[in-house]
Structure 1
């Protein structure tokens, strides 16, 4: 995120580079930086003659180079943006001669929505002459902290549980998460601290029947609550696909196994080791008392077995809802 801030600040300060190569599997920052250049470098009057948007599937390296070599008309710069540039991957090395000596009055932006082989000569040249930015996907456990940081930069706050709920409900798609945050900001004034209730009421996420609460019920051995959640999942299978539920449960018990193995189980050390917010460490401490290490190992095997069954191996005619009920039963017994 520090790298993104520097790129954005340089653009806002008009400290432009002749080439911006924005790549990676996480498209959120690729789009944000590309959009910032598209909207802010030129005035509306200058854009008519000096801003060109091309698409990788409809253009060639030769056309891009020819366009980039033009001089701006009645402006200091021209902007050439190549979207979906990954479609040019097979011929991209032809761009080498331009990259070695780019037109300094052109700002050439490649939005390459994939991970290229950065060892190739062309990409090393781009790194030397311009901005190379690789946008990497966040791990599941990194998303809540990302939400906290984004909102803090926008003068909002969010409770740890609310951030975890958002991350669990929306996954690791940062663009999707950002869209939901923008909706929340319309409803609540600057300075507001978002709560789990805000998330439930404005994003359609049930605070009582979700994987987050299921993990909590399992950790505290609250069987009544766990079975109530499972019954709700069974009634709404499309909203709670078994692959997501089993994946989250596997991640929780794998972290619990890791917690058992820690010598220093102090809250902040354990949180750092497990990659979770310290707010949730009391839950892990409780779970470790309810599930000894040997039992946790057995549970992990049970979840793996159910995951195989959910993919049609050895499950017979067993329904997903019954698989989940059986899984919870075996965890408690």
Structure 2
């Protein structure tokens, strides 16, 4: 992100704000910026007396303000970091009194994850005026692949499209989880390596043949034999592939297909943008679009709602997951 790069460049160049309020749904960038500030504003010697890390669950806003108002010891500034500050959401507006009379020798970092301040409130406007307000937004699924490639290229690695798709499919859009898995691979594999589906399967534990997007692909191709094989694998590995998640994935696939049928602009770029899917999977959607009419998809979506209810134990007489998966596939392929 250009905004992240600019913040880091400014701090490195000595343009340091008295308050950094880092908020938003995506914790990855909040954590990275917090770690950068923690390691780069003060020297190692200065940190011993002038850097303090607080946790939102253990302190009050009054505690934070009190710490921020102290003067540094034998240094030009002190750094106060409040991690998990979202725990202070009920009283966060009380920070306004400090921002109105900010301590210029303090750098106050508020890591406010999974939440955002109301931008209409005076606190938000004051922070924007006196310091830096950064909002870390969730990436759409179809943007995560680009993010993975960019991160790896910066570290001297590359990744195949299917390997990227596997990571996104299994880990979702949680950048912290994805980054943790990428770091594992970087420890094991030498620089210059191109990560493949085999690397993902061998080192992270995802099967390249029996997984949710291969299941979705088999359904879209109307490949009944492969779909039933994968369904049986899921039933034998319920912890890795819980029924509720499998049903949700298939439901999402057919809901997107229904939306795809209704699109006037079916160009790849527009489809990926509207459906919010990884472009790598578009060929699966294209084939499924030919194999399932809009009328059939509507009926499947209705069936999947019924299967979802049964998977939660309502009116199913505790059917085994194998039976539920078979019922789902039978109605899809009927």
**Under TM normalisation by the shorter chain, which class is it?**
over 0.9
Q: Which residue number in structure 2 is paired with residue 89 of structure 1?
A: 89
CA contact (8 A) 2:142 2:279 kept: no
Distance verdict in 2 for CA 1:113–1:273, change over 3 Å: closer
For 2:63 and 2:126, how far apart are their aligned partners in 1?
20
For 2:114 and 2:66, how far apart are their aligned partners in 1?
25
Q: Which residue number in structure 1 is paired with residue 273 of structure 2?
A: 272
Per the TM alignment, residue 113 of structure 1 is displaced from its structure 2 partner at its CA by: 2.5
Q: Which residue number in structure 2 is paired with residue 249 of structure 1?
A: 250
1:76-112 deviations in whole A, cap 9, x for unaligned?
3210111222232333333222202312221100112
CA contact (8 A) 2:141 2:276 kept: no
Q: Which residue number in structure 1 is paired with residue 17 of structure 2?
A: 17
Say whether 1:286 aligns with 2:305.
Answer: no
Distance verdict in 2 for CA 1:175–1:287, change over 3 Å: same
Say whether 1:179 aligns with 2:180.
Answer: yes
SS of 2:222's partner is coil
For 1:171 and 1:223, how far apart are their aligned partners in 2?
26
For 2:258 and 2:89, how far apart are their aligned partners in 1?
43
For 1:279 and 1:173, how far apart are their aligned partners in 2?
19
CA contact (8 A) 1:84 1:111 kept: yes
Per the TM alignment, residue 289 of structure 1 is displaced from its structure 2 partner at its CA by: 1.2
CA contact (8 A) 2:79 2:108 kept: yes
1:55-204 equivalences in 2 (<5 Å): 55-118=55-118, 119-204=120-205
Per the TM alignment, residue 141 of structure 1 is displaced from its structure 2 partner at its CA by: 4.1
Distance verdict in 2 for CA 1:93–1:276, change over 3 Å: closer
CA contact (8 A) 1:25 1:137 kept: yes
Moved more, 202-211 or 56-65: 56-65
For 1:258 and 1:57, how far apart are their aligned partners in 2?
43
For 2:26 and 2:42, how far apart are their aligned partners in 1?
27
For 1:270 and 1:94, how far apart are their aligned partners in 2?
45
Distance verdict in 2 for CA 1:46–1:117, change over 3 Å: closer
| Aligned length in residues | 333
Q: Which residue number in structure 1 is paired with residue 322 of structure 2?
A: 321
SS of 1:58's partner is coil
Moved more, 298-307 or 209-218: 298-307
CA contact (8 A) 1:50 1:78 kept: yes
- Using structure 2 for the length normalisation, give the TM-score: 0.93
List gaps (5 residues or longer) in structure 1. none
CA contact (8 A) 1:160 1:277 kept: no
- Using structure 1 for the length normalisation, give the TM-score: 0.93
Distance verdict in 2 for CA 1:94–1:272, change over 3 Å: closer
CA contact (8 A) 2:142 2:273 kept: no
For 2:228 and 2:75, how far apart are their aligned partners in 1?
66
Per the TM alignment, residue 221 of structure 1 is displaced from its structure 2 partner at its CA by: 1.1
Q: Which residue number in structure 2 is paired with residue 263 of structure 1?
A: 264
For 1:272 and 1:92, how far apart are their aligned partners in 2?
36
CA contact (8 A) 2:76 2:105 kept: yes
For 1:135 and 1:99, how far apart are their aligned partners in 2?
21
Provide the aligned C-alpha RMSD in A. Answer: 1.9
CA contact (8 A) 1:22 1:135 kept: yes
Per the TM alignment, residue 41 of structure 1 is displaced from its structure 2 partner at its CA by: 1.1
SS of 1:161's partner is helix
For 1:309 and 1:32, how far apart are their aligned partners in 2?
42
Distance verdict in 2 for CA 1:319–1:60, change over 3 Å: same
